[in-house]
Each structure stands twice: as structure tokens, then as C-alpha cells.
Amino acid sequence: MNYRDQINALLDQQDAKGQSKYGHPLEQSTAAITERLYHLAEELVDGLRYTLWVIDKLERRLKMQVQVKLLNPNCRPYRKYIHDAGFDLRANIPAPIKLPPDGRVKIGAGVCMAIPPGYYGDIRGRSSLNVAGILCPGGTVDAGYTGEICVVLVNLSGEPYTVQPYERIAQLTITPIPEVELVEVDELAGSERGNQGFGSTGRV
Ligand SMILES: O=c1ccn([C@H]2C[C@H](O)[C@@H](COP(=O)(O)OP(=O)(O)OP(=O)(O)O)O2)c(=O)[nH]1
């Protein structure tokens, strides 16, 4: 019997006017039903909690765990929404840094990560900074690299840019790498594109 049926069965013990069908005084009958309903509600909440706990456990089984060591508690990699591709990396700097036009800088992100074999950390720009002309040329964090992750920024905005302490300056995705073996040959198998590249297909 589901909970709704159990509740209705309890209520059925009283007639439409609230009188007990079994001859118990009204107060006694109502108190007994209310108490039983409280117990049902407790069982329901308990069942719900357990279900959520099991869902969480099952979901964790699907997740790859990556060890993270924070060099600064303000630099925890940040993901605003659970399905975001990247974790934002922050500038681990105690004071603002001025980046002149055309200047470039390497900034520690205050975090080390043990990226598992078969994956790499792909450092990419944030669109908000890209559009402002503060570009991250990208970087590769190899599995096995345990030093501080650093971010390179280049100022192509034409104006000075001040990087603030703990500002989110780039993002890092954890990206799978296919197993690859390079096989040396004298000639590559032919293809339609051949050696045409660098704009050979035109602009439009
Ligand atoms: O933007 C970057 C690029 C690299 N690294 C770290 C992680 C990476 O595993 C290591 C080496 O990077 P990469 O192989 O790109 O540099 P390299 O110039 O080829 O140096 P190495 O001779 O150390 O491989 O430096 C960063 O923290 N940020």
C-alpha cells in the first residue's frame, strides 16, 4: 500500500462528520489518526533522505575524482554551474598586477592538481576577458605535473589592464586523451585536402 492509500485508510476510520466508525470518542480517534500520520510523515522523510543519499552515492561512482592541493584557500577552482565544462582558475597574487598594452605575464593559480593518466588539463581563456582583449593563449597541464598551475595572459586590449588578487583569469577543463601510437611511414595515405591549408578554401 502506498502512503496515500495508508493515509486514506486512516481517514476512513472516521465518517464524514469526524465520528469514529468504531465507536471511539472523537478526540481519541482523531488523536490516534494524527499520531499515525506523524509517523507516516517521518517514515516518508526518512525514505526520501535515504533515496537522495543512494542517488548521490551512485552518481559519485560515475565521477572521476581528481586530487586538488590549494596553495591558497582563496584559489579553489570554481565552477558556477555543475554542468560547466571548465573550472575557473584564480590569480594567486597578494596585490594587483598592472599589465601594460601588449604586455604578457605568467600568474600562479594557487592550485596543484593530480590529473590522472589518460587526461590533461586544458587551460583556456574566459570569454569575458577574451572579448576585452585580455587573452590566455592556452596551456597544457600534463598528467603527472604536480607544480602550481600557472596562467599566461596577454594584453591585446590596447589599454593597461589591472589583474586583481583572486580574479578569475582562465578556466581549466579536464580532457581525455585517446591512446595513440605514432607509426612512421614514407608516404601518407592520400586525402581530398592533401597539402592545402592556411586559407586555401577561401573566406566565404
Ligand atoms: O599554461 C600553462 C602551461 C603549462 N603549465 C605547466 C603544466 C605543464 O604540465 C607544464 C609543462 O608545460 P608544457 O609542456 O606546455 O611546457 P614546455 O614549455 O614544453 O615545458 P617542459 O619542457 O617542462 O615540458 O607546465 C602551466 O601550469 N600552465
- Place 50 in a pLDDT band, splitting at 50, 70 and 90: very high
- Place 15 in a pLDDT band, splitting at 50, 70 and 90: confident
The phi, psi pair for 52, rounded to 5°, reads: -65, -35
Looking at the structure, tell me whether residues 71 and 165 fall in a common domain. Answer: yes
Predicted pLDDT of residue 90:
98
Ligand 1: residue whose CA is nearest its atom 14: 140
Looking at the structure, tell me whether residues 18 and 73 fall in a common domain. Answer: no
Q: For residue 134, is it within any domain? A: yes
Looking at the structure, tell me whether residues 28 and 103 fall in a common domain. Answer: no
| Domain with 82 in it | 67-176
Ligand 1 within 6 A of 33 CB? Answer: no
Tally of domains in the chain: 2
Looking at the structure, tell me whether residues 105 and 136 fall in a common domain. Answer: yes
> Where residue 86 sits, what CATH number does that domain have?
2.70.40.10
- CA-wise closest residue to 125 among 81, 157, 165, 158: 157
Residue 37: is its pLDDT beyond 80? yes
Q: Which residue carries 471511539 as its cell?
A: 24
Q: Which atom of ligand 1 is nearest to the CA of 149?
A: 27
**What confidence tens digit (pLDDT) does each residue in 101-146 have?**
999 999 999 999 999 999 999 999 999 999 999 999 999 999 999 9
Q: Residues 99, 105: contact at Cβ < 8 Å?
A: yes
Q: How far apart are CA 28 and CA 63, in angstroms?
A: 53
Q: For residue 76, is it within any domain? A: yes
Report the percentage of the chain scoring pLDDT > 70.
Answer: 100
Predicted pLDDT of residue 21:
77
Q: Residues 179, 117: contact at Cβ < 8 Å?
A: no
